């Protein structure tokens, strides 16, 4: 196995462990990430609207 595949499997295992052992904290983390992505998308949309108006 190459190193990339091993690191990917370890990452997936850690995420699954976190979700199974601490589901509330995992949900809050995902909500935080999605909120951050939403804010970024809104900023880009605002920029493009202002650019072409």
pLDDT in tens, 7-41: 999 999 999 999 999 999 999 999 999 999 999 99
Can you give the pTM of this predicted structure? Answer: 0.68
Q: What are phi and psi of 26, to 5 degrees?
A: -65, -40
pLDDT at 1 over 80: no
CA 20 vs CA 7, 11, 35, 43, 50: distances in Å: 20, 14, 22, 34, 44
């Amino acid at each position: 196995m190459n190193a990339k595949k091993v690191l990917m499997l370890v990452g997936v295992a850690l995420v699954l462990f976190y979700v199974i052992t601490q589901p509330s904290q995992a949900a809050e983390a995902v909500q935080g990430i999605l909120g951050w992505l939403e804010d970024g998308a809104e900023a880009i949309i605002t920029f493009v609207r202002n650019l072409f108006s």
